[in-house]
Copies of this chain bind each other. A is one copy, B any other.
């Protein structure tokens, strides 16, 4: 509904009508002044087929294939801050995760542009606009909407959580489900982090925002690139890495077993040189539950706490914020898109300010 309203105003095209129809919390009445914007590919592989290319009878022979790169769209606001923010999406998502919220408000892309940061939105290798994969993949239309509703903590299908920070109009849920896009090749955290390191080579020093499945590739990116100056991780879901010999026991849950991974100490220590903050939202318990969608996050929060302890034990600067513990209620697995995403952005801005990253 918000989407439709907001778009109808595009034909009216007066600031006034645009503002009056935009949802509460939007800042769209303020103009956005962009110094530069554009897109490009970073990283990736080149595959060559043996043989001689025949221009007028082309086969695979003698041809090449470019794949496993990432796609990035960037915007630099006027008088911007020195460090750009690079935003990496999670599973079943793309750079679109950080754009307009499902209910039509501004996402973190535009909110942090307004706060003066250059912003890069990534489609990781083998996803979205970076779809060329060096490894084949078969994509089946797989019905997962109800699982997403539960696991992304909108509620317990078909009921929303009472305090959930998610607009309940059907149009909003439809936009949420249509933000899903599949892998076009096998998920590979090394392929992703290699391309991300290549991106940081191009951007120079910057701040990494990661969401969900991107938590793991995010840690690996900071190991591979000295240009990662800080990490803000929203609900990391997998890829928790510990020094060899310090890997905690696996954690069973109603959603399966969560296992941590071992890396050489010298790699792990790369994560102790930068400030790291992790956020988790609401509506899952600390004690085990038979509710699959919620128990999935109980073990991830527990593992993240052990991970933060390990980073700090090795001299690092990591912290974990469980939002309900600081009085911020109802957040889903997508805090950057929730109804209170401006309040979440304020929390992140406070962290960046405390660490002199802004």
Give me the interface of A with B, judged by CB distance under 8 Å. 3-4, 6-8, 10-11, 13, 15, 18, 22, 28, 31-41, 44, 47-49, 53, 55-58, 60, 62-67, 69, 71, 73-74, 76, 78, 80, 82, 84, 94-96, 99-100, 104, 106-107, 110, 118, 123, 127-147, 150, 156-157, 174-175, 177-182, 184-185, 202-205, 254, 290-293
Collect the chain B residues with CB atoms within 8 Å of residue A49's CB.
143
The complex places the Cα of A69 from the Cα of B181 at a distance, in Å, of 11
Most buried by B among A76, A95, A135: A76
Show 8 A/B contacts (Cβ-Cβ < 8 Å), sorted by A. A7-B203, A13-B76, A39-B100, A55-B291, A65-B141, A94-B128, A129-B181, A133-B141
Collect the chain B residues with CB atoms within 8 Å of residue A4's CB.
202
Collect the chain B residues with CB atoms within 8 Å of residue A40's CB.
3, 7, 100, 104, 175
A10-B76, A56-B292, A147-B63 known; A44-B141 Cβ under 8 A: no
A10-B204, A104-B40, A131-B182 known; A142-B55 Cβ under 8 A: no
**Contact B143–A136 (Cβ < 8 Å):** no
Least CB separation from A227: chain B residue? B11
**Contact B63–A145 (Cβ < 8 Å):** yes
- Please give me the 9 A-B residue pairs with the lowest Cβ-Cβ distance, nearest first: A38-B100, A41-B178, A11-B204, A63-B143, A131-B181, A32-B34, A65-B143, A39-B99, A66-B177
